[in-house]
Amino acid sequence: MASNHFDLIVAGAGLSGITSAAAAASRGLQVALVSSGPGSFVFGAGCVEVQNMDRNTPSLREALDFFCNLTELAGCGFRGGLEDKRYIPTILGCFQAVSLAPFYMWNGDPTAASQVAVVGIRGLSSFDSNFVAERLAYHACKLERSTAYTAHEIKLLTVADTFPGTLQFGNRYDRDPRFREELRNALLPIAAKANLIILPGILGLKTGQIEIESLEKQLGCMICELPTLPPSIPGMRLFNRLERHLRGAGVEFFTGFPIQQLQIENGHCKGVLLDTPARPLKLLSETLILATGAFSGKLLGTSFTSVNHDLHPVDANSAVIADNVFAAGAILRNSTARELNAKAILTGYVGGMLAAGVGVQYAR
């Protein structure tokens, strides 16, 4: 029972960090996931675009399949795949073309429904149903769809002296059965005249497939839930679900303390030092995956320029900086904003598999 010795340390709990930890754990590795904050989950919902990528990118299909399966196991399943393309609405009233999306967004496509009710909540300033409905109708026209969008506003009992935000509603949805009932009753008359309801993201941070699909069944109507200003309730829900699943799969979480230093000696990384109170906590591992995002690449030093075909970080002369370190996700800085999530899943999956000694291909 060595305390802090692992097969793999994953740094970063964003989309790529989570995917790589899951991939490695699925191959039997003892994984530690080190993070400070839930990555980009707090800003978005995790929709994946692959339209602009080469569909034959090595390992891409495998990675997306793995991710879909992972979310299904975590109780927050994604729909779609490499060949799919759907138009998902946003709170700014436009459509975003995606290939994969969480189940509670997938039905937002204008082809999925003919009568769509866009439902706002009185007092919730971050979602304007009139604005969204009008713009969606306009954009649906441009896409040559005849879907009708109508705006609605429901009134929910709010807590006195507060400006209700999506976080308040999300927390109450999780904890208060009366609030769930109130919301359902408010939506019922609207659902009777529509086959899709578009809502701001408020359906709980801890809910999952069972709870939301049961609400759809009670309403007799599909739901599409959109992330609003941070915190994104759907994004945090996905994160909470994945975290719970990974803990169950034996991944050890070290949350809240950034990495102070990688212990690289002679081109080999022995472990990391975490910036913990009193003295740094030392974690040892055989391999390390750096998925710390676009803004914190400093750990590898200034010489880090990109990665080679095995995802090892290399310097300007293509010399490997550490032979047991892999870099994944936005730290690679080789993605456009649109393909960021797809690349995060791809490199996270490839990194996790390579760390587990499984031969998978990665082409830059």
Partner 1 sequence: MRDDDVSLDNCLKCSDCNTACPVVTAHPAFPGPKRLGPELERMRREGIHCDSDWVEYCLSCHRCDLACPNEVNVSELIARAKATHKKSPSRRWRDYWLARPGLLGKLSTIAPGITNFWLGLKPVRLLMSMFTKITPARRFPAYSNSALRAPEVELNQGERVVFFPGCFIKYNQPELGCHVLQVLQLNGFKPEVANAGCCGVPSLANGLPGEARERAKANVNSMAAAVDAGARIVTACSSCGHMLKTGFAHMLEGDAELEKKANKIAANTFDLAELLMAQQDAGKLNTHFGPVAGKLKLAYHAPCHQKSQGIGRPWYQLLRHVPGVEIEDLNAGCCGMSGTFGFKEDKYLVSMEVGSELFAAIHTNAPQAVVTECATCQMQIEHGAGVSAMHPVDLLLNAYKHGARK
Q: Which residues bind partner 1 (CB under 8 A)?
A: 1-5, 36-39, 42-43, 159-162, 164, 167-168, 171-172, 174-175, 205, 230-231, 236, 244, 247, 252, 254-258, 274, 276-279, 281
In the complex, minimum distance from the CB of residue 50 to partner 1, in angstroms, rounded to a whole number: 27
**Residue nearer to partner 1 on the CB measure, 102 or 164:** 164
Neighbours of 33 (CB within 10 A): 28
Phi-psi map region of 161: left, alpha, beta (phi>0 left; psi -120 to 50 alpha): left
Q: How far is the CB of 329 from partner 1 (least distance, A)?
A: 14
Q: Which residues make Cβ contacts (< 8 Å) with residue 125, sequence separation at least 6? A: 163
Residues 198 and 108: beta-carbon distance below 8 Å: yes
Tell me how far apart the alpha carbons of residues 336 and 36 are, in angstroms, rounded to a whole number: 24
Q: Under DSSP, is residue 190 helix (H, G, I), strand (E, B) or coil? A: helix
Closer to partner 1 by Cβ: residue 41 or 78: 41
Q: How far is CA 41 from CA 13, 27, 359, in A?
A: 9, 25, 29
Q: Which one, 161 or 265, has the nearer CB to partner 1? A: 161
Residue 35 CB, shortest distance to partner 1, in Å, is: 9
Q: Which is nearer to partner 1, 130 or 276 (CB)?
A: 276
Angle between helices 166-175 and 177-191 (to 10 degrees): 110
User: Using N-to-C axis directions, what is the helix angle for 233-248 and 15-26, rounded to 10°?
Assistant: 20
> In angstroms, what is the minimal distance from the CB of 231 to partner 1?
4
d(CA 84, CA 95) in angstroms, rounded, equals 15
Lookup result for tokens 């009777």: 192
Taking the complex as a whole, how short is the minimal distance between the CB of residue 91 and partner 1, in angstroms?
Answer: 16
How far is residue 124's CA from residue 170's CA, in Å, rounded to a whole number? 12
Give whichever of 125 and 255 is closer to partner 1, judged by the CB atom. 255
> Exposure of 37 by Cβ count < 10 A (0-12 exposed, 13-18 middle, 19+ buried)?
middle
Nearer to partner 1, 39 or 120 (CB): 39
CB 158 → partner 1: shortest distance, Å? 8
d(CA 195, CA 190): 10
Closest distance of CB 24 from partner 1, Å: 19
* Closest to partner 1 by CB, 38 or 93: 38
Closest CB to partner 1 among residues 130, 253: 253
Give min distance, CB of 109 to partner 1, in A: 29
